[in-house]
Amino acid sequence: MMKHWKGVFVLLAGLLMMVGSATGQAQEIVIGFSGPLSGPAAEYGQDCLYGIDMAVNEINAAGGVNVKGKKYPLKLERLDDRADPTSAVNNARRLQNMKAVAVYNAVFTTIAAISKINEEQGSPFILMAYTSTPKVVQMGNKLLIGTTAPAFTVYIQVFTELAMKKGWKNLAMVTTLGAYGEEWRKAFGDYWKKAGGTITIDKPANYYTETDFSAPLAAAMATKPDAMLIGGPSATTALVIEQARGMGFTGGFICIDQAKLDYMANLLKGYKLMNNTIGVATPMSVPVPASADFEKRYKEKYKRMVTSECFRNYGATVALAKAIEAAGTATDVRAIRAAFAKALPIVGDRLPTEIFGINPNGRLLINGSIQTIENSRLTPPIQYFWWIKSDEEWEATKKVSKSTANMVRFEAQIDNVE
């Protein structure tokens, strides 16, 4: 009797597989996220994750990813690494075991750790790296996509030019520790001094674990700087601003690109404490047709404000889905990586952050936008297009873009803008 029922179960299982095949059902395409979902950087990690999650939900609601006529739903696996490299690698190993075709990460220290395993034979995956450090595309990783805006060297040049126009010459640096912060401070300090400025002190702090910045701020203020270079995750950067103003600092701030002006203003109840600040433009101030509807959908689902992190990770996920379709495979990650060039551009009538293409190093071509805060208000943003090589390319880019904000062709005076 037992053998009889065993045979029936085997037959039923086979019939179910045949039915699934006949109805066009396909296995899921797994993508993974490892990032800080707890601790001081949790808000930053969650903003990145929710952008990915929103894109996954919308792609699946529209039928999934079409690969040679078959529809594959995306499945997002999310893991917390608290911005710790060892945890990030362990998470990436788990995602490898789940056969993830891509893994997202948004902190350079953990990206660098994961990059040592994502090209392994037998279980490779595309590393979707949300970081502006130039080093991310200099690692030579053939399965990496840089999903943020330009390398932060573009911001360093423009921030310095704007600061010098304000008459700032003496600058103290109180930015985050870690590989990303160290690279930012080194590059900024070198260019600042080249432009004729003085670095009065370099007092980094760990924006991922600390909440009391009084000691480094006191040391910086003792050097009487005109301004401070600050930044790390937005939530802790807002604390730095609040504590600096509370300690009597009346000078300016230059915020590294990880710290977002609107996010900090939301925590600080306006831009008053942030007066006389230079930083990356707020996403909703750079108008494209897709922005308003994206903001409405995002706020309804996640009950939080939109940020550059959700904008760009949403866009990167749409681009990934398009690359899978262009490659004609749901499993060959090298073919998918190569197909990004075919999947782009995707501009502002579809995405709230325009993606114009991809460079040979793997960085997506997304312009950098910059704003200042004057009289406790945001100034109009300026968009800097950093990859343009010719007049013809510039005219073609302007024609494709759906943005109505001021567009500027960036002329590099600094190394490593790609």
User: What does the alpha-carbon distance between residue 211 and residue 26 come to, in Å, rounded to a whole number?
Assistant: 47
In a domain, 1, yes or no: no
Query: Are 307 and 405 found together in one domain?
Result: no
Taking the CA atoms of residue 105, residue 109, residue 115 and residue 117 in that order, the dihedral angle to the nearest 10 degrees is: -100
For residue 20, the model assigns a pLDDT of 40
| Structure tokens belonging to residue 216 | 């480094």
Kindly state whether residue 170 falls inside one of the protein's structural domains.
yes
Amino acid letter, 348: G
Are residues 270 and 319 located together in one domain of the fold? no
CATH number assigned to the domain comprising residue 107? 3.40.50.2300
Query: What total of structural domains would you count in the chain?
Result: 2
Q: Is residue 349 part of a domain?
A: no
Residue 377 has what pLDDT? 95
Q: Which of 272, 281, 401, 8 lies closest to 409, judged by CA? A: 401
Residues 161 and 233 in one domain: yes
Q: In whole angstroms, what is the distance from residue 283 CA to residue 47 CA?
A: 13
Is the bond preceding residue 352 a cis peptide, omega within 30 degrees? no
DSSP 8-state assignment for residue 285: G
CB 278 within 8 A of CB 162: yes
Structure tokens at 368: 């950098």
| First-to-last C-alpha distance (Å) of the chain | 70
| Residue 311 placed within a domain | yes
CA–CA gap between residue 227 and residue 206 (Å, rounded) = 20
Do 249 and 375 fall into the same domain? Answer: yes
Please tell me the predicted confidence (pLDDT) of residue 141.
97
Answer for the pair 174, 230: CB distance below 8 angstroms, yes or no: yes
Q: Which residues pair with 364 in a beta bridge?
A: 358
Does 236 map to a domain? yes
Q: What is the DSSP string of 33-81?
A: EEE--SSTTHHHHHHHHHHHHHHHHHHHHTT-EEETTEEE-EEEEEEE-
**Assigned domain for 272 exists:** yes
H helical segments located in 260-373: 261-268, 291-302, 308-327, 333-338, 340-343
215 and 264 part of one domain: yes
Asked if residue 241 is part of any domain, the answer here is: yes
Same domain (yes/no): 203, 252: yes
Shared domain for 190 and 332, answered yes or no, is no
**Domain check: are 156 and 146 in the same one?**
no
Count CB neighbours of 365 within 10 A: 21
Sign, CA dihedral 29-133-277-41, equals: positive
Task: Collapse the DSSP code of 220 into the 3-class scheme (helix H, G, I; strand E, B; otherwise coil) and give the result.
Answer: helix
114 shares its domain with 87: yes
Q: Is residue 360 part of a domain?
A: no
Q: 35 and 181 share a domain?
A: no
**418 residues of the chain, pLDDT tens digit each:** 444 444 444 444 443 344 343 334 458 999 999 999 998 889 899 999 999 999 999 999 999 999 999 999 999 999 999 999 999 999 999 999 999 999 999 999 999 999 999 999 999 999 999 999 999 999 999 999 999 989 999 999 999 999 999 999 999 999 999 888 999 999 999 999 999 999 999 999 999 889 999 999 999 999 999 999 999 989 999 999 999 999 999 999 999 998 999 999 999 999 999 999 999 999 999 989 999 999 999 999 999 999 999 999 999 999 999 999 999 999 999 999 999 999 999 999 999 999 999 999 999 999 999 999 999 999 999 999 999 999 999 999 999 999 988 999 999 888 877 7
Any bridge partners for residue 104, and if so which? 33, 128
Supply the pLDDT for residue 26.
55
- For residue 381, with 0-12 CB atoms within 10 Å meaning exposed, 13-18 middle and 19 or more buried, which class applies? buried
Strands 126-129, 102-105: pairing kind: parallel
R_g (Cα) of the chain, nearest Å: 23
- Domain hosting residue 231, numbered range: 152-285+368-409
* Whole-number Å distance between alpha carbons of 366 and 114: 24
Asked whether residue 85 falls in the same domain as residue 171, the answer is: no
| pLDDT at site 25 | 45
Closest CA to 171 of 278, 253, 273: 253
381 and 256 within one domain: yes
